[in-house]
Structure 1
């Protein structure tokens, strides 16, 4: 059942803090919030974009750094500073002519719960809140910010035969390597 769901995925929507990052914030003296992203997650995401999978991020966070990182991966649909993710999620599906069974949503905590219940495939990191784990179709063996996004994106791309056709131009734009 899980593998069959991966065949239908046309869009991957992600929470940021606790999914793309480990959920920790480093605060500078000026109050700037710094986050750490996993380079392997980045590789998988930019490849998914290049292979035609829609990728979006929904987050309560307001961060230019997050926006810069995601845009650098080719992700254009970035929704930050959200009080509620449900309305943005619903509008995103309508605007992109997607049905819920074509959407994978990865979240980790209570603000993601409503959207995850509506997504065709709900996934979470290993260290997600218990309420999130209980409704997830897939729980990664990796924690948030430690490769959980790579884990699920790689599965989607492999089941759709999009992973092994490695394009030498496919790289993480922020890795410093081509």
Structure 2
């Protein structure tokens, strides 16, 4: 696990999986066939704080969902890669598109399709309820499970490690 803050200084992008990271991983279908998904408001603020401090946030997800596109728009996330089971190739494409090396990217996922991206990223991040193989490979793991503030924890850790957290706090006082 990462304990040295120096790695966070290089990060310019945090890419996030959705199911199991931004949400709790459950998919609920209503009787009319529509899909329901819940997102944590604290995670949303964490994303906004990262953006305010110059860290771009992207979403890479294996599924396609109108709710994810809506949430990305609400949060000002322009880089939305949907229907991408190969998370590593999506992260590589995203990095190339933005002119970033993988060492400048952090990736947060929870399951086996995320493993390659977690291993290749400058900082591989995961949630407390990730599968054991992902937890073992990650550099950093949240205390919270996916969908319950884990992304907020990751944002706070990155901003604290970069020395930006205290300045942000003063904006809210």
TM-score of the aligned structures, taking structure 1 as reference length:
0.89
Residue 109 of structure 1 corresponds to 111
Residue 167 to residue 133, structure 1, CA distance change in 2 (3 Å): closer
1:31 aligns with 2:33: yes
Structure 1 position 169, deviation (Å) = 8.9
Alignment of 1:97-176 (within 5 A): 97-166=99-168
Question: Is contact 1:46–1:75 with CA below 8 Å preserved after alignment?
Answer: no
Task: Determine the structure 1 residue equivalent to 2:65.
Answer: 63
Q: Which runs of 5+ in 1 are unaligned?
A: 171-178
Cα offsets for 1:146-167 (capped at 9, x unmatched): 1110001111112223333348
Indicate the structure with greater helix content.
2
Corresponding position of 1:10: 12
- How many corresponding residue pairs? 170
Structure 1 pair 168–79 and aligned structure 2 pair: CA distance change class (3 A): farther
8 Å Cα contact 2:28/2:36 also seen in 1:
yes
Query: Bigger CA drift: 81-90 or 133-142?
Result: 81-90
Distance 2:163 2:4 in 1: 16
Which stretch of the first structure deviates more once superposed, 7-16 or 95-104? Answer: 95-104
Of 40, 43, 63, which aligns to 2:45? 43
Aligned match of 2:90:
88
How far does residue 82 in structure 1 lie from its aligned partner after superposition? 1.5
Moved over 6 A (4+): 167-170
Give structure 2 stretches of 5+ with no counterpart.
none
Q: Report deviation, 1:45.
A: 0.1
Q: TM-score, normalised by structure 2?
A: 0.91
Give the secondary-structure state (helix, strand or coil) at the position aligned to 2:5: helix
